[in-house]
């Protein structure tokens, strides 16, 4: 067992998407952080060319069409992401219902099967266990002293993985975070 109470052979992957529009299939960045042996062992990040040249939410994630126009589409980036996910017992995300919805919609739009890996939600775990007025990712990172470049998908995925490890160390179980 690791110090967080996670079997050392266990693997899970934190996932975070940034989107360029209101439709769930409009991902414009994906970040993945792999936890092995109770620590973040590897990361994957890709900008994604969204289905439209109109990029919304730039004020949040900082991404623009000129930055995204030459990026791979979700369908082009997905095989590398699938390889990164291989062996994961579950996926985790902060507000996992959002990331699961984006993942499912992007897979559907790309004609690819969505992973059937169960999701855990660190937001749900934080709500159950921490006496903080806000359980947003940036607030949890401040509380746990975790570095964060908020709304960068790679940084958000890594931060989610670190929050998960901290919650597990506090005794929050996977069952309590199950979506």
Q: For residue range 61-89, list pLDDT tens digits in order.
A: 999 999 999 999 999 999 999 999 999 99
> How far apart, in whole angstroms, are the C-alpha atoms of residue 39 and residue 28?
27
Site of tokens 């052979």 = 9
Q: How confident is the model at residue 15 (pLDDT cuts 50, 70, 90)?
A: very high
Tens of pLDDT, residue by residue over 87-96, are 999 999 999 9
> How far apart, in whole angstroms, are the C-alpha atoms of residue 15 and residue 94?
8
CB-based burial, 78-112: b 16+ in 10 Å, e otherwise: beebeebbeebbbbbbbbbebbbebbebbbebbee
pLDDT at 53 over 50: yes
109 and 51 Cβ atoms separated by less than 8 Å: yes
> How far apart, in whole angstroms, are the C-alpha atoms of residue 37 and residue 88?
12
Hey, where are the domains in the chain? 11-173
140: left (phi over 0), alpha (psi -120 to 50) or beta: alpha
Tens of pLDDT, residue by residue over 109-149, are 999 999 999 999 999 999 999 999 999 999 999 999 999 99
- Residue 5's pLDDT is what? 52
11-173 adopts what CATH topology? Nucleotidyltransferase; domain 5 (3.30.420)
């Amino acid at each position: 067992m690791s110090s967080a109470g996670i079997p050392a052979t266990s693997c899970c992957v934190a996932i975070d998407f940034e989107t360029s529009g209101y439709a769930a299939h409009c991902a414009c960045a994906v970040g993945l952080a792999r936890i092995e042996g109770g620590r973040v062992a590897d990361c994957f990040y890709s900008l994604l060319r969204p289905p439209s040249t109109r990029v919304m939410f730039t004020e949040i994630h900082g991404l623009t069409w000129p930055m995204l126009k030459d990026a791979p589409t979700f369908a082009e980036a997905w095989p590398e992401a699938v390889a990164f996910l291989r062996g994961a017992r579950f996926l985790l995300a902060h507000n996992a219902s959002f990331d699961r919805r984006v993942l499912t919609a992007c897979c559907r739009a790309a004609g690819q099967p969505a992973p059937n890996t169960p999701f855990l939600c660190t937001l749900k775990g934080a709500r159950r266990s921490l006496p903080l007025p806000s359980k947003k990712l940036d607030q949890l990172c401040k509380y746990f002293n975790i570095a964060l470049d908020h709304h960068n998908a790679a940084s958000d995925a890594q931060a989610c993985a670190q929050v998960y490890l901290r919650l597990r160390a506090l005794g929050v179980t996977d069952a309590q975070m199950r979506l």
